[in-house]
Amino acid sequence: MADDVVTGAEALVSAAAHSGADLCFANPGTTEMPLVAALDRITGVRAVLGLHENVCTGAADGYARITGKAALTLLHLGPGLANGLANLHNARRANTPLVNIVGDHTSTHLPYDAPLTSDIAALAATVGTVHTVTDRASIGEATRTAFDDAHRLLGVSTLIVPADHQQHSAPVQPVKPAAMPSRAPVSVEAVQNVAQRLRTAGARAVLLLGGNALSRKGQEAAGRIAAKTGLALYSETFPARAERGGGLPAIDRLPYFPETAAAVLREAQAVIVAGAEDPVAYFGYDGVPSVLTQPGTLVRLARPHEDAEEALLELADLLGGVDPVRPGPLSESPGSGEPLSGRTIGQVVASVLPENAIVSVEGGTSGYPFYTASASAPSHTVLTNTGGAIGQGLPCALGAAIAAPDRPVIALQSDGSGLYTAQALWTMAREQTNVIVLIAANHTYNVLRTELGRHGNAEFGPQATALTSLADPRVDWVALARGFGVPATRAATVAELRHTFTDAVGIGGPSLIEMAL
């Protein structure tokens, strides 16, 4: 083939590279084979294989959260995209720039409704924008547009590419690079209005942070505002990325259950939202309001797509903010012989966390206690499950580790949710990522038992017990991890966890510790 003529697949990979993509999390099939071949012929984009599409999409989410630029996946037809939708939902809720490339049947074959034919566009539209390639000539520009959408909207964009358009060749057409992600500025008037509201409300205000307000600069500015006014600081319940520790103010997450969250916000004269969504209950319950703020108290400083960090810096200067209050050392050190619990796990991990770590948190057992304790830990980054779709923690840790190979990554994971995407362990081993997986193994869907209690079920019958138990048979996480190629061990006491975790940090990942609760 002449140098000035390329296949559609080659044009797509080249356009993706020009748009900033350097990695592709892939689980391809028959309709993506031209793209697989193009990854060898066009330099600049490295492929990483995931054994399940939800591993690919979750890893892409984690990769983009750390790099700040759009991540790329390669998925097979509608069923492949459907397999990855749960973590695409989480990515959408995290405002993560992400581009899916999904192959489709050749154009001439689509009318015959073959077994794998489906409405790919309808599936993709549930999580973001959709573009469908209609001819070979437009494939490069369509790729750039998909990346532009992901960067401009800070969200998920899907490009559907029929197999024949991947195979056809045509002269090279120049494609300008896609714009990189950017956040819209907050107006001066908006900052001034919030400053005036805070002068009135004073200490009877809450500042709720999300988005890039949870950068180090954003939290420092929020701490200055709190020190000046006396207001209360919270982050959104499930932040996409929050810098933590290293002397930052001790900003805890807004409680998950609506009664507790509403109690935090009920007495506030002003709830200032900076980079977060408006606070609402995660589920509806009889007698509990869905909107957690009182009428007339919600004030929006910055929406999730806006530059909340810069708005907070301006607000702190306008109010004459003073040095923030810094957290002290960890107040408790559990005894070496204590059994492991959510509380002791959180304290141990926070006390021996390595500097500049990334912690992917999924599961409430140890996640909430760790987040509270981690205010006193060295500087680190926390990623949480933004959309509530289970199976995000392990893939997100995988993607973060590939994005930042010089940083240790900890996956603080509950056992039930970890089983949704346990295949991520195989890719961790294959890529030799520096991930230490900590599995809180209580062999129970504990959150469901809590919810059963909230619905008035004080005692569980045999079916409710069975549907919330993982104890028969018990999953052997040590054997499971080793089967995927990840070294693993088990800890049952504080001393054992401190020893095994410290050793794992020193050696580097991948490794897994089953924490027996």
**Residue of higher predicted confidence among 337 and 360:** 360
> How many residues in the chain?
517
Residue 412 neighbours by CB under 8 Å, 6+ apart: 349, 359, 360, 361, 362, 363, 366, 367, 370, 393, 438, 440
Class of residue 79 by CB neighbours under 10 A (exposed 0-12, middle 13-18, buried 19+)? middle
Provide φ and ψ at 30, rounded to 5°.
-55, -45
Say if CB 366 and CB 415 are below 8 A apart: no
Q: Are 193 and 314 in a shared domain?
A: yes
At 30-60, the pLDDT tens digits run 999 999 999 999 999 999 999 999 999 999 9
Residue 380, domain member (yes or no): yes
| The token pair that represents 218 in the structure block | 């954003």
Q: Are 381 and 315 in a shared domain?
A: no
Q: Are 388 and 242 in a shared domain?
A: no
Question: Does the pLDDT at position 9 exceed 90?
Answer: yes
Residue 45 neighbours by CB under 8 Å, 6+ apart: 13, 16, 17, 21, 22, 23, 24, 39, 72
Mean pLDDT score of the chain:
94
Which CATH number do you get for residue 101? 3.40.50.970
Q: Are 368 and 230 in a shared domain?
A: no
Q: Are 452 and 482 in a shared domain?
A: yes
| The token pair that represents 425 in the structure block | 């362990």
At 65-122, the pLDDT tens digits run 999 999 999 999 999 999 999 999 999 999 999 999 999 999 999 999 999 999 999 9
Say if CB 4 and CB 28 are below 8 A apart: no
Residue 3 — very low, low, confident or very high, per pLDDT cuts 50/70/90? low
Q: Which of 255, 285, 319 represents a domain boundary (last residue)?
A: 319
pLDDT confidence of residue 398: 98
Q: Which of 137, 171, 205 represents a domain boundary (last residue)?
A: 171
Residue 375, domain member (yes or no): yes
Provide φ and ψ at 201, rounded to 5°.
-80, -35
Residue 253, domain member (yes or no): yes
Residue 119's CB: how many other CB atoms inside 10 A? 9
Q: Are 303 and 349 in a shared domain?
A: no
Residue 476 neighbours by CB under 8 Å, 6+ apart: none
Residue 333, domain member (yes or no): no
Residue 319 neighbours by CB under 8 Å, 6+ apart: 195, 198, 199, 225, 228, 229
Q: Residue for token digits 């993607």? A: 399
Q: Are 405 and 444 in a shared domain?
A: yes
In the chain, what percentage of residues exceed pLDDT 70? 99
Residue 335 — very low, low, confident or very high, per pLDDT cuts 50/70/90? confident
Rounded distance between C-alpha atoms, residue 150 and residue 152, angstroms:
6
Give one DSSP letter per residue of 358-397, joined into a string.
EEEEE-HHHHHHHHHHGGGSSSEEEEE-SS--SS-HHHHH
Task: Tell me the residue type at 129.
Answer: T
How many domains does the chain contain in total?
Answer: 3
Residue 443 — very low, low, confident or very high, per pLDDT cuts 50/70/90? confident
Residue 404 — very low, low, confident or very high, per pLDDT cuts 50/70/90? very high
- Reported in sequence order, the residue ranges of 185-253 that DSSP labels E, i.e. its strands, are 205-209, 232-235, 242-244, 252-253
Domain that holds residue 468: 342-516
Task: Tell me what the mean pLDDT of segment 423-431 comes to.
Answer: 98
Task: Tell me what the mean pLDDT of segment 348-377 comes to.
Answer: 93
Question: Does the pLDDT at position 457 exceed 80?
Answer: no
Provide φ and ψ at 264, rounded to 5°.
-65, -40
Residue 325, domain member (yes or no): no
Q: Are 145 and 200 in a shared domain?
A: no
Q: Are 357 and 484 in a shared domain?
A: yes
Q: Are 377 and 451 in a shared domain?
A: yes
Q: Which of 141, 171, 201 represents a domain boundary (last residue)?
A: 171
Q: Which residues of 461-483 are buried (b: 16+ CB within 10 A; e: fewer)?
A: eeeeeeebbbeeeebebbebbbe
